[in-house]
Amino acid sequence: MTRCADPIRLTIGIVIATGVATAVPHLAVAQEDGVRLASHRAIYDLKLAESRGRRSLSSVQGRIVYDFAGTACEGYTLQFRQVTELDNGEGKVVVSDLRSTTWEEGAGKSYRFNFQNYLSQKLVDSVDGRAERRSENIAVKLAKPGDKQFNLETAVVFPTEHIRRILVAARDGKTLLEVPLYDGSESGEKLYNTLTVIGQPIAPDQRKPDDAAMGQAALDGLKRWPVTISYFDRSKQGGEQTPVYAIRFELYENGLSRALVLDYGDFAITGTMTTLEMRDSKPCQ
């Protein structure tokens, strides 16, 4: 999972190492990397794990619905929704409701995105656009919040390609991945530098999951890795930076995520997978 919400800033998301994997200015054909992402629908229940700093909270509750489908041949569709209720303990309760639908071509050549962000049932942000990878750059065209066109460097990747690269790096025994990411969030112009730290693999017979992943035949025999992705604002260059937010989770070989921790600096939220529906995907012809 590479998308989450900062319910205060109204954004979407979402080191020592022995090996480094970095972005390259072109993408290999997706089918050739051996990664097969599983179509699935997962629901995560959210609650406050820790509150610290100036944005102190007394409670958080909410839910993420993550509906992912597709193949490298037909592309990948993600329908995502995160509803989060935040209580500061002083009588102020805010409800953040983020919704998105995206489609990404199997080899990361094209990306379409649509986001809505509601705050206490009022629409405060709406983004609609598409990005096309060309030989010299990535061309982005926005229809909302206003007509706009701009270009990104070719090293930038889209969210599903990001997960693929993390899985390839993990499989190859690498522990660090640095790559610029574009997901179309906020005003559609946000660009992140991401740093992914990959832990030691967890064998299928180790640390048995106690959530909805337990007993799932589709996960039998699959390794998983503890992963932390930190997101840095690309527009803020120079000096030591702190991440805008970070996500920790366990990532299975087929792209499924469990045991979420969404860390926004001043507070952290856990996400426990309560429902998991695995779906069949048509094989590439």
pLDDT, one tens digit for every residue, the chain (285 residues): 655 544 444 333 322 222 333 333 334 444 457 889 999 999 999 999 988 867 678 899 999 999 999 999 999 999 999 999 998 877 788 999 999 999 999 999 999 999 999 998 999 999 999 999 999 999 999 999 999 999 999 999 999 999 999 999 999 999 999 999 999 988 899 999 999 999 999 999 888 999 999 999 999 999 999 999 999 998 876 666 789 999 999 999 999 999 999 998 888 999 999 999 999 877 776
Which residue type occupies 131?
Answer: A
Gap between the Cα atoms of 65 and 44, Å rounded: 7
Residue 52 three-state SS: coil
Are residues 184 and 102 in contact, defined by beta-carbon separation less than 8 angstroms?
yes
Are residues 186 and 12 in contact, defined by beta-carbon separation less than 8 angstroms?
yes
- Return the ∠ at Cα 284 (arms to 280 and 285), rounded to 5°: 130
Q: What is the pTM of this model?
A: 0.87
Q: Largest Cα–Cα distance in the chain?
A: 58
205: left (phi over 0), alpha (psi -120 to 50) or beta: alpha
Gap between the Cα atoms of 36 and 34, Å rounded: 6
Check residue 27 and give its pLDDT: 42
Check residue 163 and give its pLDDT: 97
DSSP 31: G
DSSP 145: S
Are residues 63 and 43 in contact, defined by beta-carbon separation less than 8 angstroms?
yes
Q: Using the structure block, give the residue that is written with the tokens 């030591």.
A: 240
Show the tokens assigned to 62.
């909410």
